Amino acid sequence: MAPTVKILSIGLPKKEIFPGRELTTGICKKPVSGPLVLTEQGFEGDGVGDRKHHGGSDKAVCVYSLDHYSFWERTLGIPMPQAAFGENLSVIGMGEDSVCIGDRYRIGTAEVQVSQPRQPCGTLAARYGREDFVKLVVDSGRTGFYFKVVKEGRVQAGDAVTLVEHDARGVSVAFANQVFHHDRKNRAAIEKVLSVPALSASWQKSFHELREKA
């Protein structure tokens, strides 16, 4: 299945009422039609509520696979809304086991690079009223990932996601997730993740800390 953007979604932070909680967040994004400008900081008209953990140039675009939606519908017992994980790009054909940190892609007239896995957060758990949701996502490996923007351009739903350059180190999103969440004392694996120049600054920091403890 050729990697493709099926849905492009954006949204600015606003107050949301979740089960038992009220939060200001940009997680409830809405699909848009037509092309949008993608800058180094993300899509025009998009934003995040928690700037400490989300957004910025390393995490300009959140990506999640529509191929995972059926798993979550079975697991949660509910139909998943569009942009269910707060992603900007709902894609097909891009699994965590095949996408590598440092891989570069062309989408529309923009060029992007994989920078890190997406870390599930408490806001995501609050959206679905499941305190165990972060653990469910981590354990499933279906986390999604982030792009940083190498070349600004215009992107729209239906665009192909074309591989421009595969990072030769072959550190998949799934591998990085496994080390970060489950194999935190594996020094050789930690070094392998750190060898990728495109790794985001926040994950570099986390993996340097892991290396010190290992």
User: pLDDT of 20-71, one tens digit each?
Assistant: 799 999 999 999 998 999 999 999 999 886 666 667 899 999 999 999 999 9
Instruction: Report yes or no: 63 and 87 within 8 Å, Cβ to Cβ.
Output: yes
Rounded CA separation 148/199 (Å): 10
Rounded CA separation 145/87 (Å): 9
Spell out the CATH class of 4-166.
mainly beta
The reply to whether the predicted model has a pTM over 0.85 is yes
DSSP conformation class of 26: S
Rounded CA separation 176/199 (Å): 10
Within 8 A by CB and 6+ apart from 24, the residues are 13, 14, 15, 16, 49
Q: For residue 214, what pLDDT is reported?
A: 86
Alpha helices in the chain (DSSP H): 69-76, 122-128, 133-140, 173-182, 187-194, 201-213
Residue position matching structure tokens 């050789």: 188
Q: Which two tokens stand for residue 185?
A: 């004392």
| Beta strands at 61-65 and 89-92: parallel, antiparallel or unpaired | parallel
* pLDDT-flagged residues of the chain (< 70): 49-54
**Residue 206, SS3 per DSSP:** helix
Q: What are phi and psi of 73, to 5 degrees?
A: -65, -40
Angle at 69 between CA 46 and CA 21, to 5 degrees: 60
Task: Tell me the CB-side half-sphere exposure of residue 126, using CA atoms within 13 A.
Answer: 15
